[in-house]
Amino acid sequence: MNIFISGATGYIGSRLAIRLANEGNIIHALYRSEAKTDLIKHPNILLFKGDILDVPSLSAAMKNCEQVYHIAAFAKVWDKNPSRIYRLNIEGAINVISCGIKLGVKKFVCTSTAGVFGPSGESKYIDEETIKPEKYFIDYESSKAILESILKSYAVSGIPIVVVNPSRVYGPGLLSESNGVTRMIKSYSEGRWRVIPGDGNSPGNYVHVDDVVTGHIQAMNFGIPGENYILGGSNITYNELFSEIAFQTGRNYLMIHIPLWIMLLLSHLMLFFARISGKDPLITPPLVKKFIHHWNASSAKAIRELGYLPMSFQEGIKNTLNWLNSEKI
């Protein structure tokens, strides 16, 4: 089968492209930078230079494809020009869908984020029935929420679109902006990460990248058009996260809990210098404000309807550390 993937050189997209290519499919991979194609060199992967904002290049890359995975996105938490985030994440996705419709694509899977459902509250978890908040902490989540409302209207009109919502993804692969959790695991294992935000008791949902890739494929095969599926893993606090990493590495470093007010002050300073230099800040005030909330998520719907079965957090961390050690990066 011919399958188109946008974002094929990214963290999730590259692993999805290789998985599908290994299964015998012909992958049409859209890329912008030649330097980023090394991860997806495969006899069953055809490379098409282009951009999701460039309709002619999209059409050329998508020709003769039956399925489309739209994964490309602007995933950074900050940009000097916020409108760029919305243009790439909304207009870019609409271009992909529109081209696919004209070319007769049979089904689309679009990648969003579990963040569109907002924080969970202290004793609850978010799921696909959670009412989305009116405001978001970061533009990435806001742009994805706007996109989802547009995709719903497409689905209502009969276009076969399924939306998947990964939580905090980690695991082997490209150490990019989308793989921040693995970069943090790597830094801890090398003795270069010693901080925990706040009291460390705020939970988030962490999912291994290979489970997310499997979830995408299951959504394509079994997902109901117009539906969302949260692709999550384990609900873990920051304290539990670093405790497990310490246990599996055998390196029990003294961790420093940074009060959120200090992190907020530092983030404002970083943002000030970022606006002057244009260099991305490590953290931003909206991102710090997210730390005080609980982000528990449930993947019960994906488990029930797709056959999704994520690995345990312990297994996922072990797998990630084994990869980091083998790669020696």
SS (H, E, C) 24-86: CCEEEEEECCHHHHHHHCCCCEEEEECCCCCHHHHHHHHCCCCEEEECCCCCCCCCCCHHHHH
Cα dihedral 322→323→324→328 (10° resolution):
110
Task: Tell me what the pLDDT averaged over the chain comes to.
Answer: 93
23, pLDDT greater than 80: yes
pLDDT for the residue numbered 33: 84
Lowest-pLDDT choice from 21-25, 27-31, 170-174, 177-181: 177-181
Least confident span in 100-109, 148-157, 184-193, 269-278: 269-278
Overall fold of domain 2-172+206-233+294-311: Rossmann fold (3.40.50)
What integer pLDDT is reported at residue 329 of this predicted model? 46
SS3 326: helix
**SS3 (DSSP) at 108:** strand
| Dihedral class, residue 216 (left if φ above 0, else alpha if ψ from -120 to 50, else beta) | alpha
| Per-residue model confidence (pLDDT) at position 161 | 98
Three-state SS at 251:
coil
- Map out the domains of the chain as residue ranges: 2-172+206-233+294-311
For residue 245, the tally of other CB atoms under 10 A from its CB is 20
- Higher pLDDT among residues 173 and 61, named by residue: 61
pLDDT tens-digit series, residues 176-215: 777 889 999 999 999 999 999 999 999 999 999 999 999 9
Quick one: CA dihedral 218, 223, 226, 229, positive or negative?
negative
- Percentage, residues of the chain above pLDDT 70: 99
Residues 6+ apart with CB under 8 A from 273: 279, 281
Buried b / exposed e over 227-238, threshold 16 CB at 10 Å, is: bbbbbbbbbbbb
Spatial separation of the C-alpha atoms in residues 8 and 151, rounded to whole Å: 21
Residue type, 125: Y
- CB neighbours of 19 closer than 8 A, spacing ≥ 6? 213, 217
Q: Alpha-carbon dihedral of residues 125, 127, 130, 136, nearest 10 degrees?
A: 80
pLDDT of residue 30: 94
Among 34-38, 98-102, 156-160, 278-282, the minimum mean pLDDT is found in: 278-282
What pTM did the predictor assign? 0.94
The DSSP letter of residue 122 is T
Tens digit of each residue's pLDDT (9 = 90 or more) over 33-86:
888 898 899 999 999 999 999 999 999 999 999 999 999 999 877 777 888 999
Residues 156-160 have a mean pLDDT of: 94
Mean pLDDT value of segment 300-325: 97
- Res. 90: pLDDT tops 60: yes
pLDDT at 328: 55
pLDDT tens digits along 234-270: 999 999 999 999 999 999 999 999 998 999 898 889 8
- 294-305 pLDDT tens trace: 999 999 999 999
Tally of helices (H runs) and strands (E runs) in the chain: 12, 12
Identify the CA nearest to 73 among candidates 53, 101, 48, 102.
53
Mean pLDDT over residues 128-148, rounded?
95
As given in the structure block, the two tokens for residue 217 are: 């494929």
Q: Scanning the structure block, which residue is given the tokens 């905090």?
A: 168
Q: Which residues contact 223 (CB under 8 A, 6 or more apart)?
A: 109, 162, 164, 229, 305, 306
pLDDT at 288: 87
